[in-house]
Structure formats: C-alpha cells, structure tokens
Amino acid sequence: MIKPHGSKVLNPLYVRDTLRREQLLVEAQQLPSLLLNSAAAANAVMLGSGYFNPLAGYMNLADALNCAEYMHTVDGLFWPVPIVNICNASAAIKAPSRIALRDPNVDGNPVMAIMDVAIIEPVTDAQLEFMATKIFATSDLNHPGVATFLGLGTQLVSGRVDVLCLSYFQADFADTFQTAYEIRSEIAERGWEKVIAFQTRNPMHRAHEELCRIAMQRLNADGVIVHMLLGRLKHGDIPATVRDDCIRKMVEIYFPKNSVMVSGYGFDMLYAGPREAILHAIFRQNMGATHLIVGRDHAGVGEYYSAFAAQEIFAQHVPAGALEIQIFCADHTAYSKKLERVVMMNEVDDHGKDDFVLLSGTAVREMLANGQLPPPEFSRPEVADILMRYYQR
C-alpha cells in the first residue's frame, strides 16, 4: 500500500487506547481550557484521524508563514497551507503549559484534546493578510475562506496534541465518517491496490458518476473512494446528510459491488482552490489512495481561480518526489446529445455548447423546488428525487 505522507507509517493523534484516553479525559477536567473556533476544531479532527500525518500538532508562526509562502515547514516538510490554532486566548493560557481544548460544535463544549502548549505568539493583521493572500490567492473579504481566516483571532497557540474525541462526526455520520487509518484498513480488506479518491462537497450527478467510471477504466483501478466533506460549508451548500443519501443511492444502483467505497471526513471547507487541492492530495495519500481526481475548479468558489488552476499547481509548484499520490486530471464532463453518453468535453470533436446537456446550479435548484425532475441525462432520477424532497422541504 502507498506510504503515508512524510513517514513510513501513519501516526494518527487520536488516543485509541481506552484506558489512556479515559485518564487523559480525567486530567483535562483539572486543566485550563481553551474553547476552539470551528477551524481549529476541524484541524484537531484531521490530526486525530491521521489525515494530517506526519504533523504532531498545531504549527507555530514560523512554520505557518513558511507554509503560506513556500509550501513547506521550516524543517522542509512539504505542506501547502498552515495547520494552526489562531484564537483569542485568555490570560489563563500560558506557555509552556498543558491545556484542554474544547469543542465549539457540540453542546456543552466537551474536551476534544489535550495540548502541550509550546509557545503563544501574537499574529498581526499584516501577517494574517499575508498568509490569506498566499493561501487563497486573494485578500478579498467576499471570499468565504478569507473572511473566516482573517477573523480567527490575534494569537497563535502551537504545540503537540493528544486528540480524545473526533467531535460530532462519529455520532452524526456513523456509517460514513472514517479516519484515515480506518480507510487504510478497509482498502486492505478489500484487496485493493490501485485506489482512486474522488473529492466532493456536492451530490453526485451523472457527470460526476461517469468521471469516476472513466478514471477507473483508464487507470485500471481496483476501486474508487467517494470521499465527501462532512464539516462546515458556506451558506447554500447542500447538507451532508442529503449528499450522503444521494451518493449511496447512486452507488447502490449504478456501480458494481466492491468497486466503490462511500466515506467522509470531518473538516471545514477552505475554498482555497489550488492550495486546497494539494491538501486534498496529501490526506488522500494518508488514507491509502494512489490517485486523486482533480477536475475543473477543484475546491474553488466564485471566480477567484481559473478553471484548471488546481491541476496546474501540481505541475508547476509541487516538487518532484514531494508526493507519492498521482493526479488524474479531468475536464468538465457532460452528456453529449450526439454521442448519447457522458464525455469529457475537451475530448470530443464537432461539439458546440448546444450539443451538451448543461444546467446551472440555479436552474437545477429551481426545477427541484418546483417538483420538476432534471433530465435523466443530467441527474439519475433516484438521486434527483432525494434532492427534490430536500428542496421542497
């Protein structure tokens, strides 16, 4: 199986030994507490799940600035975005010290982790804007990722962590949420060797379905993991439970058995386009995938990134040997009326825009809200039916 990023074995930071975890939870009740923001809590989940291997905790300011500017830590670990705990820490939090990190997304704010605070550093507005501009390629506050990042706080608290719970994901998505080490175990059980990861924050329409099938056929892959984001999205995105139902229904009906895993991970979407695409590749390598599909406007939002910027960054800015996972570059896919099948639009000749079945997201939402199913060339009727019930509700 493919090696994890930056180490020979995966080192998830979740404390899996039950007795040790219970001891740490007791200790946490006596420690000063820091209530995390959602971004830092999402980072804790990813650290605990093994997706952010080989990181041992939250980065300090030097590493954060270095990752933002050069895409590697001070010690040279290739990493595309800072993994940080930026907040407004209280006077009770000091360095060096041991503190409890509490979950902002669960009632009662239970302990998520214990952190050995190495240093607490002020982070200036100029430093935050510098990092945001590098990560998101813009400092525009209308960009949802920029707005979130610039509003996190004025102090950066760094240090190693022992993760004690994975927030609400295990309870709310018991059949879907998996850690990186759980996915590695399932890949081994299935006997897969060449494994494709498909990133999604949306329900899968015919074009997405066929893109997975095309990638599997061309790479002669054993299977594909449809790996959906389960964390915080921007306003207007479809809830994870609805996406989960849609994807499972599509896989059940239209894919052979033991060819698709439906899984999910707990993270807040950054909408960082090219930089986030690299992050996606790193944590898919950590979960055991050998290939990641990177399509048009991967992890983008609005008009902030060119259509294929997320593909170009791998060719232009990822050093040779930095990653073992390989990228499957894909164009926009759509149903061809001429060929009567879904195709990559850049691979067919003699086609104009009117030769494809193309619908905007707004048009599809209006159709579903009005009780009208999109054409079967665009969306499987079983999937559209689930979405229609959601929009009408």
In this predicted structure, the answer to whether residue 68 has a pLDDT above a threshold of 90 is: yes
Q: pLDDT grade, residue 5 (50/70/90)?
A: very high
pLDDT band at 298 (very low <50, low <70, confident <90, very high): very high
159: left (phi over 0), alpha (psi -120 to 50) or beta: left
Position 97 scores a pLDDT of: 93
- Rounded to a whole number, what is the distance in angstroms from the first to the last CA of the chain? 44
Q: Is residue 201 annotated as part of the catalytic site, yes or no?
A: yes
Q: What is the dihedral of CA 233, 180, 128, 271, to 10 degrees?
A: -30
- Mean pLDDT value of segment 323-337: 93
Tokens read off for 90: 């209280």
Number of Cβ within 10 Å of residue 113's Cβ equals 31
| CA 208 remoteness from chain centre | 17
Which residue among 109, 160, 202, 232 is the active-site one?
202
Strands 356-357 and 333-336: antiparallel
Residues of the chain with pLDDT > 90: what percent?
81
pLDDT (0 to 100) of residue 67: 98
Residue 238 has pLDDT above 90, yes or no: no
Domains and CATH numbers, the chain: 18-169 (3.10.400.10), 171-392 (3.40.50.620)
| Residue-wise pLDDT tens digits, 123-147 | 999 999 999 999 999 999 999 999 9
**Is the separation of the CB atoms in 368 and 346 below 8 Å?**
no
Q: What pLDDT is recorded for position 91?
A: 78
Least confident of 150-164, 229-243, 326-340: 229-243
Euclidean distance between CA atoms 61 and 197, whole angstroms: 32
* Residue from 98, 160, 190, 201 carrying the catalytic annotation: 201
Q: What pLDDT is attached to residue 359? A: 85
Looking at residue 348, the DSSP 8-state letter turns out to be -
Burial label, 265 (beta-carbon count in 10 A; 0-12, 13-18, 19+): buried
Which tokens belong to 237? Answer: 């995105």
Asked if the model's pLDDT at residue 334 lies above 80, the reply is yes
Q: Where are the beta strands (DSSP E) in 53-174?
A: 57-58, 86-87, 97-102, 111-122, 155-163
Separation of alpha carbons 54 and 382, rounded Å:
41
Task: Please give the pLDDT value at position 370.
Answer: 87
Given this model, what pLDDT does residue 311 score? Answer: 96
Burial class (CB in 10 A: 0-12, 13-18, 19+), 96: exposed
CA distance 231 to 226: 16
Is residue 180 a contact partner of residue 49, using CB atoms and an 8 Å limit?
A: yes
340-383 pLDDT tens trace: 999 999 898 889 888 999 888 778 888 888 888 899 999 999 99
What pLDDT is stored for residue 159 in this prediction?
98
State residue 361's pLDDT score.
76
Largest CA distance in the chain: 70
Residue 82 sits at the vertex; the CA angle it makes with 77 and 85, to the nearest 5 degrees, is 125
Among 81, 19, 76, smallest CA distance to 51 is for 81
| Residue 122 identity (one-letter amino acid) | P
**Reported confidence tier of residue 226, pLDDT bands at 50, 70, 90:** very high
- Residue 79: phi, psi to the nearest 5? -160, 130
What's the CA gap between 279 and 350, in Å, rounded? 37
Range from 54-58, 162-166, 265-269 carrying the lowest mean pLDDT: 265-269
Give the E-state strand segments of 97-194 in sequence order. 97-102, 111-122, 155-163
3-state secondary structure of 355: helix
What pLDDT is attached to residue 99?
97
Supply the pTM of this predicted model. Answer: 0.94
